[in-house]
Amino acid sequence: MYPPKGPTFKGNVTWYTVNLDSPPSERWRHVMMDKKPELLTMIQAIKDLAGGFFHGQILHLVDKELPLIVDTLPYPFNEEIKGVAVVTGVPLGEVVLFNIFYEVFTVCTSVVTEDLNGNIYHARNLDFGLFLGWDQKNQTWTLTEKLKLLVVNIDFSQNNRTLFRSTSFAGYVGILTGIRPREFTLTMNERFSIDGGYIGILEWIFGKREGMWMSFLTRKVLENATSYEDAKKQLAMTELLAPAYFILGGNQTGQGCVITRTRVNTLDIWEIDLKLGRWYVLETNYDHWDEPFFLDDRRTPAMKCINKTTQAVSRYTEVYLTTYTSLMEVSTGKLESYVRACPSPCTPW
């Protein structure tokens, strides 16, 4: 329900300001001082899971090899990651792992809608950490519950003004969900593919570094793009480390699209088209022209819900989803995010 309340509502997400005029290594200090215990708990949960594979050798590789790639990451992200490690005392390789994890696996739902007055709304539901460790006692995914404690809202400022806003995880320097007030909104969903993030990460480690990390690209676009069309061009043309869906909303009628990407090119740009009766575009983790995997069909119930709402009453409060939700209204620059405790079993809709 909206506004959220009841037994599954865990509270509003805390806001922080990150000053982009500060040295990169210092930008996240105040955030991480607050969230250090939660990050330590999260990292330990990852280590507990990884320790069960290959007799713990994965942890050895993380601590020994991943720190070596930090300086190969684009600036200023590399320096920000180092800063997070210094403040929290978490080994650098483990902070790197936390920051590249999204390139491998998540489950998401994003939707951009247009109401009868031409207002554009953007909502995203992000489930990060599914299928990674089952907590039998609490009947939930171990990493998902740990990640909820790290959810933060960030106001990125420059020259004493808000440049863009984001909902993210403390310690994660890329962007998954963001809004550049009065200009555009942006979310990113993983696209499952054989030629996926694993391949891109391995290529990067072995020296092939033409592609851009997905979450670094979305942050770069939010920092530098000056319009919906500018953002769309950058998202469609930049080579990536992993396949992705970029879901973009603008500030004018018809400005909403899903950009379907391979690592090297754009397969499709699916846009709101009122002449065709398409007043929203919705993306989970499967190409919109194909049927979703039958065990993971979030698309059908999501579309059923939105169609029931209808365009006539489509507004900010009517696109509220579940679990981890961000709601954005580009015309006002409004970003709201909520973390919810799911009943068992925890489902995204």
- Residue pair 253/213 in contact by the 8 Å Cβ criterion: no
Query: Which residues of the chain form beta strands (DSSP E)?
Result: 9-12, 15-19, 107-114, 120-127, 134-135, 140-141, 151-158, 161-169, 177-180, 184-190, 244-249, 256-261, 266-271, 280-283, 324-329, 334-340
Nearest C-alpha neighbor of 123 from the set 335, 347, 346, 342 = 335
Residue 328, CB-side half-sphere exposure with 13 Å CA sphere: 32
SS3 of residue 179 by DSSP: strand
Selecting among 108, 257, 342, 346, the annotated active-site residue is: 108
The amino acid at 196: G
Residue 233 per-residue DSSP state: H
The yes-or-no answer on residue 108 being catalytic is yes
- Catalytically annotated residues: 108
